[in-house]
Structures are given as C-alpha cells and as structure tokens.
Amino acid sequence: MRGVVKKKILIIEDNKDSLYLMKYFLEKKGFTVCEAGTGGEGIALAAKRDVGLVLMDIQLPDMPGEEATKRIRESQNKRDLPIIAITACAMLGDRERILGCGHNGYLSKPINPQTLLKEIEKHL
C-alpha cells in the first residue's frame, strides 16, 4: 500500500453482506468509505462528495450499474473518476460488455479482498 493515495471510496452495492465486507476490509486498510444502496443514491453521492474511486455493483434494485456509471460519467467533473464494476455476471462476454460500458475495472463476485485491493491500487 506504499505510495497509494488513500482517497475516499464510494461503494454502490445493494447486498448488505457484500457491502459490509468490502467496507470493513477497506476501512481496515485505511480508506474512507461512503456507501449507497441504489444507483440513484450512488449518483447523488458521487456528485456531491469528493470521491476518488467507485465500486459499482452491476445488479442494483433501481437501475443497472451500467446506467448508473453512464450518469456519473455525464457529470462534468466525474468523467475521469475510476469506476470498478463488482458483479456476479461472470459469463463469457460479460467482462468485455461491462468494461465497454465505461468501467475502468471488473471484478466478479465473490470478491477476494487481495484482488480487490490490487484493482484499487491500479486505479489510484
């Protein structure tokens, strides 16, 4: 973790267990975490909070994660914000489709904490 700037991470995830585990792990690693349970909440938080990276669930209750990512990207000051997709969609072609929607990274569930950390380090 040397050299990695500890920016605020926004987790947009509706599964409370997944959210808890990611938040717990990241806070133990020294990150500040804010959370949203829907795409709409996540879009609003990304717009008003100074976040350095977003972990985006793809299957959200109010809209697909791809749509939430698109809306965040449309925000003038958020075009370069790193957004990593977190998803149970792990079929052939899902990774390419999801990355093609504007995500900077892709992780399939269940999340391995060390893989998550490496992906975050790559983008910070």
Q: Which domains does the chain have, with CATH numbers?
A: 9-123 (3.40.50.2300)
Q: What is the pLDDT of residues 76-100, one digit of tens each?
A: 788 899 999 999 877 778 889 899 9
Q: Which residues fall within 8 angstroms of residue 18, CB to CB, at 6 or more apart?
A: 57, 86, 109, 111
Which pLDDT value is given to residue 78? 86
CA–CA gap between residue 81 and residue 66 (Å, rounded) = 14
Phi-psi sector, 52: left (phi>0), alpha (psi -120 to 50), beta: alpha
Residue 48: count of CB within 10 angstroms of its CB? 8
Query: What is the CA 18 to chain-centroid distance, rounded?
Result: 12
Please report which helix (H) or strand (E) contains residue 57, including its range: strand 53-57
Burial 5-25 (b: 16+ CB within 10 A, else e): eeeebbbbbbbeebbebbbeb
**Rounded mean pLDDT, 30-49:** 96
Which pLDDT value is given to residue 2? 53
Nearest to residue 111, comparing CAs of 12, 35, 22? 22
Which pLDDT value is given to residue 61? 97
